[in-house]
């Protein structure tokens, strides 16, 4: 249980930093400052790594429920969408409003799915 708490705390901090840097990037507009975009991308990669480690550790111990499977599917699809749209948005000449909206929605879905997964972890442990 102790490792799950640490993973949850680190993932929570990661989400806060990712959202904060994303808001800063959105407010400053294109072209994005290299320091903020690099921080945003690196923390996002660390977040993905921690999530994968936490999920692997959790699923070795017990099987997942159907609700967890749905939440993991939403998490994975949202993560993929956020990465793709974020990568396209980070280019200097791309200013497509709908991509920014899709990136924001996928990030919100990703965080919502992660909250459901973490809640499920703590209620079934």
Longest dimension (CA), the chain: 48
Number of domains observed in the structure of the chain: 1
Q: What is the pLDDT of residue 62?
A: 73
Q: Is 44 exposed, middle or buried (0-12, 13-18, 19+ CB in 10 A)?
A: buried
Domain that holds residue 58: 2-124
Residue corresponding to tokens 């400052």: 33
- Could you write out the DSSP letters of every residue in 1-62? -HHHHHHHHHHHHHHHHHHHHHHHHHHH-SSPPHHHHHHHHHHHHHHHHHHHHHHHHHHHHS
Q: What is the pLDDT of residue 81?
A: 92
User: CB pairs under 8 A, 24+ apart, for 30-39?
Assistant: 30/92, 30/94, 30/95, 31/92, 32/90, 37/90
Distance CA 106, CA 15 (A): 13
* Tokens found for residue 64: 């997942």
Tens of pLDDT along the chain (125 residues)? 566 677 777 877 888 888 888 888 888 877 778 888 888 888 888 888 888 887 787 777 777 778 888 888 998 899 899 988 888 888 766 677 888 899 899 989 988 988 888 787 777 65
Q: What is the pLDDT of residue 71?
A: 87
| Side-chain half-sphere exposure of 51, counting CA atoms within 13 A | 22
Alpha-carbon torsion 19, 8, 57, 76, what sign?
negative
């Amino acid at each position: 249980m102790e490792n799950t708490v640490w993973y949850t705390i680190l993932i929570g901090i990661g989400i806060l930093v990712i959202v904060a840097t994303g808001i800063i990037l959105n407010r400053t507009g294109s072209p994005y400052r290299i320091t903020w975009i690099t921080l945003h991308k690196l923390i996002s990669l660390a977040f993905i790594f921690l999530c994968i480690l936490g999920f692997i550790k959790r699923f070795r111990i017990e099987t997942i429920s159907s609700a967890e499977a749905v939440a993991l599917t939403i998490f994975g699809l949202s993560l993929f969408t956020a990465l793709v749209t974020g990568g396209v948005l980070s280019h200097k000449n791309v200013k497509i409003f709908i991509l920014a909206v899709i990136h924001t929605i996928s990030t919100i879905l990703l965080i919502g799915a992660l909250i459901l997964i973490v809640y499920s972890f703590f209620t079934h442990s």
